[in-house]
A and B are shown apart, each in its own frame.
Chain A
Amino acid sequence: MDVDDLRDASDAALVVAIGRWREDALAEVYRRHAGAAYALARRLLNDNQLAEEILQEVFLRLWNNPERFDSERGSLRAYLLAQTHGRAVDLLRSETARRRREERDAREAPEFGDDIERQVIDLTVSEKVKEVVARLPNDERQAIELAYFGGHTYRQVAVMLESPEGTVKSRIRSGLRRLRTDLAEAGVGVTWAES
């Protein structure tokens, strides 16, 4: 696969090339997915510098351990975003970042509640996704939003929403399952395997 082919290569093929130490393949993966990962990290951390550090870590991990991505077990985008999210949440829960977030939350406290839907809508990728997310029951949407974009555990979400923990974890799961079904019906790709 030469350089010109990389633009047309599937994500899975790019990861194979990365396994053969093709830096240009990593560059192509970066071109395709770094923006989404960066946006997610920045949204979670509210800190450009930390977001950059996470992005660097995620792409270096892909370079050093491409075998950890299995194209038969999900898309590369979802894999990279999950890596980004996990690392960002680790940072969020660290002491330093926690203080920073508490300061941010103190400033933005009024936005919890009524503004959650706006946040979700602002953050979604496409109109179709927005529509599907907007159709979610409020309690499911709030639980998902606080957990995913707020970086909170479901127990913390339960406290925030003044709901039982069991109810919140069930809402997160049922909300994600509903989203999957509705996104598929809306023609938005939720695939297991990279094409």
Chain B
Amino acid sequence: MGRELSHGDVVELLGAYALDALDPEERHAVEAHASWCQQCADEIIQHREVAGLLTPGWARPPAALWDKIAASLVEVPPPLDLAPVIALKRRESQLGAPPRRAGNRIGLGIAAMVAAAAVAMVGFLGVRVSDDRQRISQLVAGQQGNELVRSANAAVADPQARKVSLTSTDGYRTAQAVVLPDGTGYVVSNNLPGLAKERTYQLWAVVGTSRISVGVLGPQVQVAPFKIGTDVSALAITDETAGGVPTTTKDPVVIGKIQDT
């Protein structure tokens, strides 16, 4: 798939797209365009609502089918490999994080210096990245994998949650996140390709011109919690070396503004 379609080209395809009447290449092109073009996304929804009214009435499914579905619901999702969430010392204090363990202070100092240098060089606010899992422990204390998914689902359904649609510049890569009023957020879904073991995705909060690390997501992004402040305007995900980096100069793989509720 290398063909990019203009807005006008895509508009002409929207009806056929809504009826699943496109070839795969054109379907991907429309999906990429509609991931950032609200006008086209809205029109697709309209067409699908119309198509839904044309369905051939009602046919009672076999009684045993619901039993079959219900029986398969007992299978719980696999445990999640929770992504460690790391935050800058300054921001942790803003977010009310617990005091740091003494053993982490040296690493923090070094990282802080690196971050300060990075700030001077690239204008970004650096952050410490370590294996300190206190924040994720705090976020998901008492939660097992399923509970995390439930919490994320509940956040998605929360009418006060702000939704973030992160998209690559070509529109092919996307991720979705939600942020609750208290700053708790979840990366809930994505189509980011898996990375090699020596690479990792890293989640960043954008504050002004600064990027603040809020999580190292691993080479395969799954549902992941994070915490941000109220001054964050956007989220971004970058591709970094395993373990994460204190500051980044990489272009984001995907980025998206935090929408108001």
Contacts and interface: CB of A to CB of B under 8 A. Distances in A.
Interface in A1-33: 15-16, 19-21, 23, 26-27, 30
Given A35-B61, A52-B61, A176 B56 contact: no
Contacts, number: 190
A152 interface: yes
Nearest to B62: A52
Task: Determine chain B's interface SS by DSSP, over half rule.
Answer: helix
Contacts of A175: 15
Nearest to B14: A173
A188 B53 CA distance: 9
A173 B15 CA distance: 4
Contacts of B50: 176, 179-180, 183, 190
Contacts of A190: 46, 49-50, 53
Contact of B16 (A42, A169, A180): A169
A79 B45 CA distance: 9
Contacts of B77: 64
A164 to B, nearest CB: 12
A67 B12 contact: no
Contacts of A73: 41, 45
A120 interface: yes
B141 interface: no
Interface in A127-160: 129, 133, 144, 147-149, 151-155, 157
Best-surrounded residue of A27, A39, A75, A175 (most CB of chain B within 10 A): A39
Interface residues of A, number: 74
Contact of B19 (A21, A34, A124, A144): A144
B67 to A, nearest CB: 11
Interface of A: 15-16, 19-21, 23, 26-27, 30, 34-36, 38-40, 42-43, 48, 52, 55-56, 59-60, 63-68, 70, 73-75, 77-79, 81-82, 85-86, 89, 120, 122-125, 129, 133, 144, 147-149, 151-155, 157, 166, 169-170, 172-177, 179-180, 183, 188, 190-192
Interface of B: 11-16, 18-23, 41-42, 45-62, 65-66, 68-70, 72-73, 77, 146, 150, 152-154, 156-157, 163, 176, 178, 188-189
